Amino acid sequence: MQVSATAGGVLETDVLVVGVFQGELGPSARALDEQLGGVLSELLASEEIRGSLGEVTKLLRHPQAPAPLVVAVGFGERARLQGAGARRAAAAASMAIAPRPRKSVAFRLDLEPSLSAAALIGAMTGCAGCDLHRAEKKLHPFEQLHWDGLDAESLQQASVIGEGVNLTRQLVNQPANVIDPEQFAEVARGIAAAGGLECEIWDRGRLEQERCGSLLAVARGSAKEPRLVILRHAGAAADAPWLGLVGKGVTFDSGGLSLKPSDSMKTMKCDMAGAATVLGAMQAISALKLPCNVLAVCGLVENMVGPDSYRLGDVLTARNGRTIEVLNTDAEGRLVLADALDVAVERGASRLVDLATLTGACVVALGHEAAGLMTNDEAWCAEVKAAASTSGERMWELPMYDDYGEQIRSEVADIKNVGAGRWAGAITAAKFLQEFVDDVPWTHIDIAGPAFLEGKPGQINGGTGAGVATLVELARRAVR
């Protein structure tokens, strides 16, 4: 998709999209309304167009229209509009247009720059579907996307992030027979080569040498070989701080011996969304040539049932020497992250973020609308939350009181991989991860809710790329 800037005026295009707000037309919509003889204002007065968030209205083949198809998309109340809403509404407009191939689409939304950047990411993702293996696609990416409302630099930055989001979505939407740990690692190698990133890939032998006993235990039930990917973007001096990004990459999660029900297993190709999010962000960070240092670590396994599956009651030794009693083999993501986090700490990360589709408990707490944040450093977590807000993504902090850590103390090992019963499951999982970050400021992002959607009318379904824009914004802030 080619993305280019426009600044009003006459533009030949197949589709023109304008923004409307609850009870009002923006400047571009008013100009179009005059050209159409007051049609938009009449529709607004009669409430045929209400301007509610994500509402899409099509005007086909109007004789005075500047394009064969005109689309009005609602952004709700102007004063209440935030980045997440701008992104969602623009995506809804793209989804309404994309069922047919479009050579050229122009957006004139009249949003202030930060909202316009979020909307551009939504427009780029809304026309890219999850039907990667259908002969007849339901959605078709636009050949050319013309955007009004951003300067050239801001447009380039937002479009690069949009490409990173779509990379993450494509990886998450691929089935497990297409993306396994080795294949994911090869994709990462290609992204690194294209973007000038340093790339290191650990195979089983290296993982054994590195004493990654926690990650390797999860991989034992699968015929697919585990991998650990380390990427480095050295955009600043070697002695400058390193931002560490760590991703959970379980390319399929059967639950292991603690087998999931069939319905819960259907979408478990998405359990590598944390690693895919990190890779999408690293592609964008390298393309933007941000003058900062970023270290990425992705732990990649498949959690299956096999002759050598790890068992309930097993005691594992993680890379940092902690011993772990296994009481549920479906609490595997934290075992993978344990060793990956330790690698990031050893490699010099001065601040850490990890992302994982870690717990159903976080979905119970926050639904699909927000990711959960848990931290050992309130100031660092505040930066992560601010970066998410700027990027049009929703994240909400959960408490990390010391009492929660008592739930993961084991009688036979240092810690156990689940808490006491079903309560506070997202937090006890984070408390487990905290055992592997030493004193490095760290924030855990549980993206189990927003990373993969099903049955959401007017929204992107399948992989969403949640978290990519936030990570890029964190890297940009690291420059300061």
Q: If you count them, how many residues does the chain have?
A: 480
| CA separation for the pair 480, 477 (Å, rounded) | 6
58 is catalytic: no
| CA separation for the pair 195, 197 (Å, rounded) | 6
CB contact at 8 A, 215 and 340: yes
Given the residues 220, 334, 351, 431, the one annotated as active site: 334
CB contact at 8 A, 447 and 382: no
Of 53, 29, 52, give the one whose Cα is nearest residue 41. Answer: 29
Instruction: Find the helix packing angle between 152-173 and 273-288, rounded to 10°.
Output: 150
Residue 66's alpha-carbon distances to 49, 70, 95, 420, in angstroms, are 20, 8, 21, 63
CB contact at 8 A, 328 and 418: yes
334 is catalytic: yes
Torsion from C-alpha of 325, 329, 333, 336, nearest 10 degrees: 60
Given the residues 189, 260, 409, 477, the one annotated as active site: 260
Q: Quick one: three-class SS letters along the chain?
A: CEEEEECCCCCCCCEEEEEEECCEECHHHHHHHHHCCCHHHHHHHCCCCCCCCCCEEEEECCCCCCCCEEEEEECCCHHHCCHHHHHHHHHHHHHHHCCCCCCEEEEECCCCHHHHHHHHHHHHHHCCCCCCCCCCCCCCCCCEEEEECCCHHHHHHHHHHHHHHHHHHHHHHCCCCCCCHHHHHHHHHHHHHHHCCEEEEECHHHHHHCCCHHHHHHHCCCCCCCEEEEEEEECCCCCCCEEEEEEEEEEEECCCCCCCCHHHHCCHHHHHHHHHHHHHHHHHHHHHCCCCEEEEEEEEEEECCCCCCCCCCCEEECCCCCEEECCCCCCCHHHHHHHHHHHHHHCCCCEEEEEECCCHHHHHHHCCCCEEEEECCHHHHHHHHHHHHHCCCCEEECCCCHHHHHCCECCCCCEECCCCCCCCHHHHHHHHHHCCCCCCCEEEEECCCCCEECCCCCCCCEECCCCHHHHHHHHHHHCC
Residues identified as active-site: 260, 334
